[in-house]
Structure 1
Amino acid sequence: MTDTAADDQPRIDPSTRVRLHDLAVRRDRDEWIVGRPSTRTFVALPAAGARAVELLGEGCSVARTARTLRAETGEEFEVTEFVKDLTALGFVARIGDRPVPDAAPPRASLPWLRPHRVRLALHPALPVLVGVLLAAAAVVLFRRPDLVPGYRDLLWSPHGSVVLLSGAAAGWTLLLAHELAHLVTARAAGVPGRMRLGTRLQFLVMQTDISGIELAPRRHRLTAYLSGIALNLSVASSLVLALTLTGTGTTAHRLLAAALLLALLPLPFQLMVFTRTDLYFVLQDLTGCRDLYGDGLAYARYRWRRLLRAPRVRPRTPRVTRADDPSTRLPPHERRAVRLYSVVLVVGTAACLTFMAVVTIPLDVALLVRAARGLGPEHGLARNADSAAVLVTLGGINVLWLVTWWRNRRATDRRTRR
């Protein structure tokens, strides 16, 4: 029997037994990944921590768990504090005879999409089929270099509004399919997943939260990370093959060429790993880092503070020493990756923001001003239609970016306060 503390939370004493929620455990290098798939919450623990979870899950009391760990490792462990940490993570269902309040799990996108319905998304033959399709398209382009797309293929219609609207519709359709590929492969691995809008620096993106995939085998993790890129390449390869069946200069040929370029355009963005793209998660997985972006950002801030607080720059400010280096707390293999990534993070972010200030903002403003001036009865119907299309499409995207950024910022602040 347990008592309750002043804050109405169950008290944990040496005789306390706890009941854990269904947890998944996977070994990763020298640590263990322990998580609760339904809430997409996971944590990296040392071997002793994973053993403590196992003992508590078997019904051992706090005192017995501590004695067993001491006998097995020769060290003392604060099992009481460990149980409190597990409770804060939402891993504990009951302490003694008292249930632990549990928050509702995050809502998943397309909940009717059950794992057994999409299990073929993780079949080993699927990457082979994608590779065969990609190889066939490469052979076609080698033999027909005139089919290699160029920016002029996007201008398939003499009407700018038609090009803009059709491009936006096709681009967002491909983007939705890209994220749906992530969702399907993650769902096949038993991870709920949720699609939503997000921002990456000045970019408006659709992103799929597949937190919990870290508990899956490596092949499943990499498949989930790379499935969106594989879908774009598969669509592009199929369009290349379809182009061989249409006559050059026909409307069908121009439309297919424009769609091909739209399918390929998002792929260079994936190389911008400093914005946490699909390839960023592949890189994080292969380097064995837990939070490559967060640790890289912390290390970059440390280097910046050390530069600013050097005696020759600000003599009166406290000096930042090597002891303040956050990367020293990381394992050697993570430390090297984090320090190198921090350089990519700083340089890439600076380049993107500079491009936005010098090119993107002035161009958007010029296009919006020109479109606004093109509206009115003194202009023809075609000019008014083009101007309205630019205002709706370009202006709508910028407004949507602002709304999405503000909404996600508020959600992050609420999580931080909690």
Structure 2
Amino acid sequence: MRQYTSDTLVAVYPFTRQPEDEEVVIGHPETNLFLVLPSDAVEILDYLAVGKTVGETQLIYQEKYGELPDIEDLLNILEGKGFVKRLLQDQVNFSHAVIKATFAPPTTKAAKVRYNFANFPQSLAQKLFSRPVLLGCAVLVSLALLAIAFDPALIPSWEAYFFPENTTLMILVLAVLDCVILFLHEMAHLVAARAQGVSCRMGISNRMWMLVAETDMTGIWGIPRNQRYLPFLAGPLLDTVSAAILTLVFLAQKHGWIFMPPVVFQLGHALLLNYLLGLLWQCYFFMRTDYYYVIANFFRCKSLMKDTEVFVRNQLARVIRRVRKVEQSHIPARERRIIRLYAILWLVGRTAALGSLILITLPLMWHYCVKLFAVLSAGFQANPYAFIDAMLLILLVCIPYTLGFGLWIRSFYTKER
């Protein structure tokens, strides 16, 4: 039985809209739900929103475009997402304003999204990411690059991670500092998004088997495309500026302009190496890093990672019959060309990452697990220092990796469902 007949009136939940070439991103910022629709589909919603019936809307569309639209399929999808609602017979006399005011929240996310630091002042956020501040950041980074060009030894080597004395304590302090740095990185994304009027959430997720913190900036798709770059790059920008400041401090220390205790110097070198490796990790475009979102936004690909994974799966379906092929003809030709090129990077990156997992990470974790099992089996009395060291190692290394692997495996189960 048809739910949307020609005389049906439809309530349209108020939504934001952001033009994207020939399409429009519509959304509910309060529930972090956004959809991409053709511009003519949004026109249909506009006609329905002013009180036109489904039949009247179809006639208006037919007069303008020369074809009769299948509105019912569109409305069934949008109703499931909470954008429209069919009015019952006893509701048709209500004014449109009343219908909008009493519209139920979207059914897919009935509860409002809880944002972190939602009360962070937008005016303060705009000052923190103003042009003078960004110019100052550029100056600091330029000075650090000049310093490195004249003295490459300022870049720390792997030895910055080696602590010959007070090893456990130093690693613990470094881990705490890393947590602070990670929080500030995500906070930079959040504040930059607030500067654009977008609210965000911070949480824990995974990139393959690696546990990461992330800021959910779904609402950013509701603002113009050229305004999204700063929120995307805010985290790496803060890391780059912090690394630049540390580099200049070490330059000053090397020339005797300032003095740092050896412990502070070594921890600072380890932090600088952390920043540099973190910036390198952002270049792993085969994962959803900050730079990945910049690339996807620049090439106007709405779902580059997912579409690439489907494309690779479709290529696999050519040789393995059990793999089901998914139609991608609806994707614009321009995006399909980008997906094909990105698929090469995706395959190379994933292969390299899995190679490092099999050849380095898993063997290393196995040897550590064997050592930890031996130490813990011997008990605290056998060697108190080794026992405490083992417990800290489990806390700092094993638990994060275990959680990361758990989330990664869970993602496969979720996809299958």
> Which category describes the TM-score, using the shorter chain as reference length?
0.7 to 0.9
Shift of 1:171: 1.7
Corresponding position: 1:104 with 2:105: no
Whether contact under 8 Å (2:4, 2:86) holds in the other structure is no
Corresponding position: 1:357 with 2:349: no
Whether contact under 8 Å (2:207, 2:408) holds in the other structure is no
After TM superposition, the structure 1 = structure 2 runs for residues 210-289 of structure 1, keeping only pairs within 5 Å, are 210-243=217-250, 244-245=252-253, 246-247=258-259, 250-289=262-301
Counterpart Cα distance in 2 of 1:194 and 1:365? 35
SS at structure 1 position matched to 2:286:
helix
Shift of 1:163: 3.0
Whether contact under 8 Å (1:284, 1:290) holds in the other structure is yes
Shift of 1:52: 1.6
Partner letter of residue 345 of structure 2?
V
Any stretches of 5+ residues in structure 1 without a counterpart?
A: 310-316
Instruction: State the partner residue of 1:22.
Output: 14
Partner letter of residue 163 of structure 1?
M
After TM superposition, the structure 1 = structure 2 runs for residues 198-217 of structure 1, keeping only pairs within 5 Å, are 198-217=205-224
Does the C-alpha gap of structure 1 residues 16 and 119 become closer, same or farther in structure 2, counting only changes over 3 Å? farther
After TM superposition, the structure 1 = structure 2 runs for residues 12-411 of structure 1, keeping only pairs within 5 Å, are 12-92=4-84, 95=87, 97=91, 99-100=103-104, 102=106, 103-156=110-163, 158-243=165-250, 244-245=252-253, 246-247=258-259, 250-309=262-321, 326-375=327-376, 376=379, 379-402=382-405, 404-405=407-408
TM-score (norm: length of structure 1) = 0.85
- After superposition, the C-alpha distances for 1:385-405 in whole angstroms (9 at most, x for unaligned) are 322321222222233325545
Counterpart Cα distance in 1 of 2:319 and 2:409? 32
Partner letter of residue 31 of structure 1?
E
Deviates more, 1:289-298 or 1:248-257: 248-257
* Alignment root-mean-square deviation, CA: 2.9
User: What number of residue pairs does the alignment pair up?
Assistant: 395
Does the C-alpha gap of structure 1 residues 148 and 351 become closer, same or farther in structure 2, counting only changes over 3 Å? closer
Does the C-alpha gap of structure 1 residues 377 and 332 become closer, same or farther in structure 2, counting only changes over 3 Å? closer
SS at structure 2 position matched to 1:207:
strand
Shift of 1:211: 0.9
TM-score (norm: length of structure 2) = 0.85
SS at structure 2 position matched to 1:45:
strand
Does the C-alpha gap of structure 1 residues 118 and 377 become closer, same or farther in structure 2, counting only changes over 3 Å? closer
Does the C-alpha gap of structure 1 residues 356 and 127 become closer, same or farther in structure 2, counting only changes over 3 Å? same
Does the C-alpha gap of structure 1 residues 199 and 325 become closer, same or farther in structure 2, counting only changes over 3 Å? closer
Counterpart Cα distance in 1 of 2:351 and 2:314? 17
SS at structure 2 position matched to 1:328:
coil
Whether contact under 8 Å (1:186, 1:192) holds in the other structure is yes
Whether contact under 8 Å (1:198, 1:207) holds in the other structure is yes
Counterpart Cα distance in 2 of 1:407 and 1:193? 24
Whether contact under 8 Å (2:209, 2:407) holds in the other structure is no
Shift of 1:130: 2.3
Any stretches of 5+ residues in structure 2 without a counterpart?
A: 92-98
Partner letter of residue 186 of structure 1?
A
Shift of 1:361: 1.0
- After superposition, the C-alpha distances for 1:78-98 in whole angstroms (9 at most, x for unaligned) are 223322222222223673637
Shift of 1:325: 7.0
Partner letter of residue 343 of structure 2?
S
Partner letter of residue 263 of structure 1?
Y
Counterpart Cα distance in 2 of 1:406 and 1:111? 32
- After superposition, the C-alpha distances for 1:174-214 in whole angstroms (9 at most, x for unaligned) are 11211121222223323322211111112111122111211
Deviates more, 1:395-404 or 1:346-355: 395-404
Whether contact under 8 Å (1:94, 1:100) holds in the other structure is no
- After superposition, the C-alpha distances for 1:105-139 in whole angstroms (9 at most, x for unaligned) are 22222333354442335534443332222112112
Instruction: State the partner residue of 1:312.
Output: none
Shift of 1:11: 4.4
